[in-house]
Structure 1
Amino acid sequence: MKKILSIVSGNPSGSLNIAIDISNYLKTKGYEVIDIFRKYNNTDLKGIIVIKDKFTIDYILSLGEFIRHSKPDLIIVHGYSTHIWTKLALVYAKIPVKLIHVEHNTEKYTAFRRYLTQKLDKYTDKYICVSKGVANHLIKQGIDKSKVEVIYNGIDIQSFDLAKEKHDIFTVGMVARFSKQKDQMTLIKAIEYLIKEKNEKINLLLMGIGKTRKKCEKYISEHNLDNNIKIIEGNFKDLIVKTDLFVLATHYEGLPLVLCEAMASKTPIIATDVPGVNEIVLNEKTGLLVKENEVSDLANNILRMKNDENIREFFSEKAYRFINEEFNLELMYKNYERRIKEFL
């Protein structure tokens, strides 16, 4: 039985979800997969090995010892900067192991980490990127582009076949971590403009945790928007059934699965025109793309969607067909399995 180490940060994220999905699938195919989290296990998942990370060198040495003793046939490492420290651990272990580096986002590489990524390229047998935008960004860091392959993430499309809850006022939704990257504030201001300047009856539901949530809550309160804009708790499915339109006002992404989930629920989408996003939202085909950080552009397109039920239905149907073809879970599994079989 071939042994695989699947390594990812233990903080809940899209990359962690994908790593676990792939790991569980490979286990059903007869591989011995050991799931390893860096630093901590902030999930309710069992059977995970956590490599403590009091400081980076501690992680590198501890993981290196684990690699040396477990003698895996393959390492699959997900995410920045976990991939750098894992490759250094492999150098320390001094045993030949194939390594696949899965890049999930257009990460902001520092000069030092770009240098390390270049130097560790020879210890990387394959780079799998979750979108073309991520692939182009990673290649710019100076790695061997002949090793790069794009495999789109997938979702369980049928699980998002959800009945909408009845409501009287047109409702926009966004699910994302509250951060500068995700830029909920631009969406809040767009809805404020529609309410106060255009006298539109419209609601906004936001969901997520993060550093900018308090700032958003304060803005909503101080601008008397509490009746129309609410931050609710729960998960994506709790929010999407209450909405008529999904928006992602992000500044950069790898491949935002939340957009695929919205498409699977047949909810029309508006999102910013940035790499990763514009591989899912094809403008005027599977949704609408807007300029990032542009309140008026976002507000005008929300109004267009609100006022035209036919265009909402058109985008929803086209998007649903599109993700069935490109972003289904089985396709992702088969692509990863094919690549792993070639290595092993």
Structure 2
Amino acid sequence: MMNRPKVVHISEPAIDGVKTHYINFLLNSNVQQFDYSLIYSNARVAPDFFLDLEKCRARGIDCQLLYIHPNISLKKDLTSFYDILSLFRKMRPDIVHAHSSKAGFLARFAAAYAGAKAIIYTPNAFPFQIDRNIASKKLFLFLEKLAARVTDKIICVSHSERELALKLGLTNPRKIEVIYNGVDHKKFESDYEERIRIRSDLGIGLNDFVVVTVARMSYQKCPHHFVRVASEVLSMRSDIRFLYVGDGEYRSDLQELARNLNVDHKISFLGYRNDVRDILVASDLFLSTSRYEGLPIAALEAMAAGLPIIATDVTGNKDIVVNGKTGYLAKFGDIQQMAEKIILLSSSRETRKKMGNNAKQVVIEKFSINAMVKKIEQLYLALLSQKGYLSIETAKEIGREPQLV
């Protein structure tokens, strides 16, 4: 039997949805048939990331630190490029799978120079989606188009993300594959007794109505709108609590805004937490105020916990929220509409329960981790087979018959 194909994942951020995506994949991947490695940077790290690394290493996945500066700096980026290239030449990967914009750009060119057999990129939201000035957006789009030339497949985690890429002429449509993010829905199963216990542990009353979000406090997530929606809701009803799980550069601004709007006693800023699952299980509704998404894992986890979703009608969100069935979509920036939908759902337990059950079923049917892993590993084998490095017979021997792409 041939050696296992060597697959190297590389990412600059070790935080939020990007981190969750590749960690979920690695912890559920077929390590008997693929030789996986992870190259990570410690520039932006979630508190639980090093625990994730230990879990990866326990599965035999080699994890190596390589610092990648998160911001644009020609000198530092060139240094990172040569460091990545040197590491690739030592590791000699068959496949390089790059995540996020910075590592995605540098690693794809380094992989091409190092002679990787296949190069894959998962952006988890493209950098040109950020609402910068026109010149910056054009620059990021140009860089993405340039890197796409040395890329075999770009994995978009939602159809709306793919549609955006094609609309902007990023690359040949055949180079873009849609593979949804996946979550472990079984992890979020709970019963009434557990919900009571968790609420008690968190200091939440049994009859409190709780609106939660799990998001980095960043420009993309637009957390100021979360506070303003809370203020609008509380002007109509005072018996609703809001939980913000996450941290970031806007934390002090958000706390000040909550004080100025006189809602700081109703909004709990919880920071980064290791018990997100419990917080979701104890909540009643999930709110997303994002400007854009790839495919929001936090919202998928909330759906797996049986929560209806109220979200902005933007890339990524609109792929998972079925308006009127699993929750409601609102135009970005429409504070009033979001507040009205929260009031509506807080007033109808029956509607809330029906939407939550629908949301859970959608996750089970469309967004499972096993489906995500299987499709990505099939893509690996298909690319190696199409390039002549792997026969169909050998692919079957490895354990996954490649699907033509």
Query: TM class by shorter-chain length?
Result: over 0.9
**2:219 alignment partner AA:** K
**1:124 alignment partner AA:** T
Matches within 5 A, 1:286-297: 286-297=326-337
Residue in structure 1 matched with residue 26 of structure 2 by the alignment: 23
Residue in structure 2 matched with residue 59 of structure 1 by the alignment: 80
Q: Is 2:350 the partner of 1:323? A: no
Residue in structure 2 matched with residue 239 of structure 1 by the alignment: 279
RMSD, matched Cα:
2.0
Which shifted more, 205-214 or 149-158? 205-214
Deviation, 1:297, is 0.8
Aligned CA distance change for structure 1 residues 97 and 40 (closer, same or farther; 3 Å): farther
CA contact (8 A) 1:10 1:16 kept: yes
Match of 2:174 among 143, 146, 151: 146
Q: How many residues of Structure 1 are paired with residues of Structure 2 in the alignment?
A: 342
CA contact (8 A) 2:25 2:369 kept: no
Q: TM-score, normalised by structure 1?
A: 0.92
Q: Deviations over 1:191-233 (max 9, x none)?
A: 222323x244221111110111111111222333233222124
Deviation, 1:112, is 3.2
How many Å separate the matches in 1 of 2:292 and 2:358?
24
Aligned CA distance change for structure 1 residues 194 and 64 (closer, same or farther; 3 Å): closer
Aligned CA distance change for structure 1 residues 10 and 103 (closer, same or farther; 3 Å): closer
Matches within 5 A, 1:203-214: 203-214=241-252
Residue in structure 2 matched with residue 49 of structure 1 by the alignment: 64
How many Å separate the matches in 2 of 1:310 and 1:72?
53
CA contact (8 A) 1:117 1:141 kept: no
Residue in structure 1 matched with residue 118 of structure 2 by the alignment: 98
**2:63 alignment partner AA:** I
CA contact (8 A) 2:242 2:266 kept: yes
Residue in structure 2 matched with residue 72 of structure 1 by the alignment: 93
How many Å separate the matches in 1 of 2:143 and 2:211?
43
Q: Deviations over 1:211-257 (max 9, x none)?
A: 11111111222333233222124242242233211111111100001
Q: Is 2:146 the partner of 1:126? A: no
Deviation, 1:141, is 4.8
Match of 1:167 among 201, 206, 212: 206
Q: Is 2:138 the partner of 1:117? A: no
How many Å separate the matches in 1 of 2:341 and 2:95?
47
CA contact (8 A) 1:74 1:99 kept: yes
Structure 2 alignment gaps of length 5 or more? 55-61, 70-75, 130-136, 200-204, 385-405
How many Å separate the matches in 2 of 1:261 and 1:192?
25
Residue in structure 1 matched with residue 72 of structure 2 by the alignment: none
Deviation, 1:186, is 2.0
CA contact (8 A) 1:179 1:211 kept: yes
CA contact (8 A) 1:172 1:247 kept: yes
CA contact (8 A) 2:12 2:102 kept: no
How many Å separate the matches in 1 of 2:148 and 2:264?
51
Q: Residue 35 of structure 1: SS of its match in structure 2?
A: strand
How many Å separate the matches in 1 of 2:158 and 2:364?
17
How many Å separate the matches in 2 of 1:304 and 1:89?
52
Q: Residue 22 of structure 1: SS of its match in structure 2?
A: helix
**2:259 alignment partner AA:** S
Deviation, 1:326, is 0.2
CA contact (8 A) 1:6 1:23 kept: no
Aligned CA distance change for structure 1 residues 246 and 137 (closer, same or farther; 3 Å): same
**1:157 alignment partner AA:** H
How many Å separate the matches in 2 of 1:219 and 1:322?
36
**2:106 alignment partner AA:** W
Aligned CA distance change for structure 1 residues 146 and 199 (closer, same or farther; 3 Å): closer
Q: Residue 101 of structure 2: SS of its match in structure 1?
A: coil
Q: Deviations over 1:92-114 (max 9, x none)?
A: 43x25211111211432643343
How many Å separate the matches in 1 of 2:13 and 2:348?
43
Deviation, 1:182, is 1.5
Residue in structure 1 matched with residue 254 of structure 2 by the alignment: 216
How many Å separate the matches in 1 of 2:332 and 2:116?
45
How many Å separate the matches in 2 of 1:183 and 1:58?
33
How many Å separate the matches in 1 of 2:303 and 2:290?
17
Match of 1:4 among 4, 7, 15: 7
Deviation, 1:41, is 7.6
Residue in structure 1 matched with residue 202 of structure 2 by the alignment: none
How many Å separate the matches in 2 of 1:152 and 1:241?
23
**2:20 alignment partner AA:** N
Aligned CA distance change for structure 1 residues 262 and 199 (closer, same or farther; 3 Å): closer
Q: Residue 232 of structure 1: SS of its match in structure 2?
A: strand
Residue in structure 2 matched with residue 190 of structure 1 by the alignment: 229
How many Å separate the matches in 2 of 1:211 and 1:117?
26
